[in-house]
Structure formats: structure tokens, C-alpha cells
Amino acid sequence: MAVLPIIKLGHPSLRKRALEVTRFDDELVRLARNMIDTMRVNEGIGLAGNQVNVLQRIFVIDFQLVDETQEARAFVNPRILRGEGSVKMEEGCLSIPGVRADVVRPETVEVEYQDLEGRTHREVLTELPARVFQHELDHLDGILFIDHLSPVQRKLLEPQLKSIQEA
Ligand code: CO
């Protein structure tokens, strides 16, 4: 088990687009395990490659928080095929500690991704899993949840964001 350092707002890797994963090897499995450990230790529900300074298109989500029968899983080269509806939900991010805000996103998403063996899966997610998937996918494109806020919301959070960036 290894817990990786999580980079915070202000680090340039959070603003970069992660690259497609092409090698489904032991190293990828090890990375996924370490990311799951890191997410758990930090009590997160999701964690993307960019957040541990690995610019590869992989994220992990802990579905156990939603459904006890499900384990934490890795999603490789994920994408959203379509979204439906619109719902407001509060979000936070391990890279922006202490900041939470309401974000509007599609309620249901049909997604496609590969597992650690490179097999392609397609499924429909809704509620919290849909939310986390969208938040994590944004990370792989260099987008943060604060980018979705209204100018007023953003202005209110600005002092907090500034102090994280300066730390
Ligand atoms: Co995040």
C-alpha cells in the first residue's frame, strides 16, 4: 500500500489534459491500487490521475459509499456518451480542501470506460455515481468544479481559493 501526495489548487498539473492510457500492465494496476489507498486515507469518494500528478486518463471512485456491495473501482480512458436532466448537488475536491459549493450538472449519464485489463464497459449512472464520474472526468481535462460556479458563487469563495493557492 502506498499513499500518494495529492496536489492542490495552483499546481499546474491540475490544469493539464491527461493522456490516453495505452498500456494495461502491472504498473497501471499498481497505480490504481495506490490511488484507491490515497482516496480512502483522505476520505474522498473519487480521485483522478492529475490529482496525484500522473497525467494519464484514469480515475478511481469509491462506490462503497453508495452501495455496500460495490468495491472501489478504477475507470480508464473514460468518456460520457450522453447526459440527461440537470440537477444541483454540493461538491468538494481533495485538491481544493475545505471548499464546497453547489454545482449544476446532468443528472444521468451514459458512460464508457475501460477496466484495468483494457476491456470496454458501458453503463448508465445516476445520482451520486453520475456526479462523481463527471467531476473526475473533468479533472482529466484540466477542469475543476469551481470552474462551473456562477460569478457570484466564485466571488464569495475567492478568499478561500486564494489562500489554498498561496499555501
Ligand atoms: Co476533485
Cross-strand pairs, 87 = 105
- Residue 122: how many other CB atoms lie within 10 Å: 9
State the number of CA atoms in the 13 A half-sphere of 35 facing the CB.
Answer: 30
Catalytic residues: 136
Q: Distance, CA 56 to ligand 1 centroid (Å)?
A: 15
- The structural domains of the chain, with segments of one domain joined by +, span 12-166
Q: Distance, CA 60 to ligand 1 centroid (Å)?
A: 11
Residue 1 in this model has a pLDDT that exceeds 90: no
Instruction: Give the tens place of pLDDT for each residue, 115-166.
Output: 999 999 999 999 999 999 999 999 999 999 999 999 999 999 999 999 999 8
Helix (H), strand (E) counts: the chain: 3, 7
Q: Distance, CA 35 to ligand 1 centroid (Å)?
A: 13
Is the Cβ–Cβ distance between 73 and 135 less than 8 Å? no
User: What CATH number was assigned to the domain covering residues 12-166?
Assistant: 3.90.45.10
